[in-house]
Amino acid sequence: MSISRSSTVPSAFVGWIRVRRINELMPGLALSGLLAVGAIKLGNFAWLQSHGMSALTVAIVLGVVVGNTVFVRMAGQCGSGVGFTKQTLLRLGIILYGFRLTFQDVAQVGLAGVVVDALVLASTFTLALVVGIRIFRLERNTALLIGAGSAICGAAAVMATEPVVRGRAEQVTVAVSTVVVFGTLAIVLYPLLYRLNLQWQFLPTSPSAFGMYAGSTIHEVAQVVAAGRAINQEAANTAVIAKMVRVMMLAPFLVLLSAAPRLLGCDAGASAAKGKPVGKLTLPWFAFAFIAVVAFNSLGLLPKAASTVALDIDTVLLTMAMAALGLTTHVSAIRSAGLKPLLLASLLFAWLICGGALINRIVAAALA
């Protein structure tokens, strides 16, 4: 009898701890979920879609509005769940994002597409580091996050990079904001550039060639779709494929970033605070899981219906994470960041347009 009782008490205690933990998380999860549902519904509006405004960008706006008003009085009750959403659910969302990609996408753009995407990514991120840190004297994490968002895939890249560099909420929000501003501007600008290129012929004049250029240089997937469709369907198809290959480079980028903390100094403060040696390698496990999901998706074993469900869940998780990020962002902190982040993002945008065109031209000529 005593044995039964002694074995039951620890189990009951563990169960109580789990129930208490769930109860602590539920208010924040519910709030993040409510904002996510609202953002997804708003994101379905034709006007927002035509301007490349996805549910992710709408969610962070809603989160910032609520976070700087009513959430102040709810933070004590919802803080745990919001933090869990911003960290754990974000990682799960990044993993499920792999169901949007296959290795067959790489084959469709060929070697030229892979080389162009890699050069655009590397040059843009390097420029962000050099100019952002050495010239504008921005905090390293701010420059890193803005560089990641511009170089790879916008808000998703910023959110995926944050756990590696341990950026603050306001730094992430500033980076995402720059993606929204300049990515939206790209939707209007790139169709004009296409018509100018028909006259100047700096790039090959075919819609698919310009689609490659657009996909390798515009920030967000939604913005790529909007800009490509404003030209024609052929340009949009190539642009999306080129963009997907660029997105696929997110995982190796995160691994390389985590392997170079001493060089970049991105987690020196956090390591020192915890008594750990600066530069200790911390591999982002979710990046490897992301690659594994892409590999599995490439096999075509998952039924279409199941894939659709996985993508819907992924959209909800990422949107919840963006809403949670907005909830923990203070407008005063964004204001204190000043003009420099916007200047850095504008410089990177100019490089994506001009430098990206040059890279596309050189690679097309070299591999013709």
Length of the chain (residues): 368
Using the predicted structure, report yes or no on whether residue 269 has a pLDDT greater than 50: no
Q: Residue 277 has what pLDDT?
A: 45
Q: Residue 272 has what pLDDT?
A: 41
Using the predicted structure, report yes or no on whether residue 50 has a pLDDT greater than 50: yes
Using the predicted structure, report yes or no on whether residue 57 has a pLDDT greater than 80: no
> pLDDT for 327-348, tens place per residue?
887 777 667 668 899 999 999 9
pTM of structure: 0.76
Q: Residue 209 has what pLDDT?
A: 92
Concatenate the DSSP letters of all residues of 143-177 into one string.
HHHHHHIIIIITHHHHHHHHHHHT--HHHHHHHHH
Using the predicted structure, report yes or no on whether residue 70 has a pLDDT greater than 60: yes
User: How far is residue 113's CA from residue 84's CA, in Å, rounded to a whole number?
Assistant: 37
Q: Residue 211 has what pLDDT?
A: 92
- The answer to whether the beta carbons of residues 215 and 239 sit under 8 Å apart is yes
How sure is the predictor about 190, in pLDDT bands with cuts at 50, 70 and 90?
A: very high
How is the chain split into domains, by residue range? 28-366
> pLDDT for 282-317, tens place per residue?
556 777 888 899 899 999 998 999 999 999 999 899
Give just the sign of the alpha carbon dihedral 310, 312, 313, 319.
positive
Using the predicted structure, report yes or no on whether residue 278 has a pLDDT greater than 60: no
Using the predicted structure, report yes or no on whether residue 7 has a pLDDT greater than 60: no
Q: What are the start-end ranges of the H helices in the chain?
A: 2-43, 46-50, 55-67, 75-84, 90-96, 104-129, 140-148, 155-165, 169-200, 207-217, 221-231, 233-248, 250-258, 261-264, 268-273, 285-298, 304-327, 331-337, 340-366
Rg (CA), the chain: 22
Tell me which of 7 and 229 has the higher pLDDT. Answer: 229
**Mean pLDDT within 181-198:** 89
- CA-based nearest residue to 341, from 138, 124, 64: 138
Using the predicted structure, report yes or no on whether residue 358 has a pLDDT greater than 90: yes
Burial label, 11 (beta-carbon count in 10 A; 0-12, 13-18, 19+): exposed
Q: Residue 274 has what pLDDT?
A: 43
- The answer to whether the beta carbons of residues 289 and 319 sit under 8 Å apart is no
How sure is the predictor about 210, in pLDDT bands with cuts at 50, 70 and 90?
A: very high
Q: Is 282 left (phi over 0), alpha (psi -120 to 50) or beta?
A: beta
> pLDDT for 104-131, tens place per residue?
888 888 899 999 999 999 999 999 999 9
Q: Residue 13 has what pLDDT?
A: 43
Q: For residue 87, give the amino acid letter.
A: Q
Give me 2's structure tokens: 């005593």
Question: For the chain, what percent of residues have pLDDT higher than 70?
Answer: 86
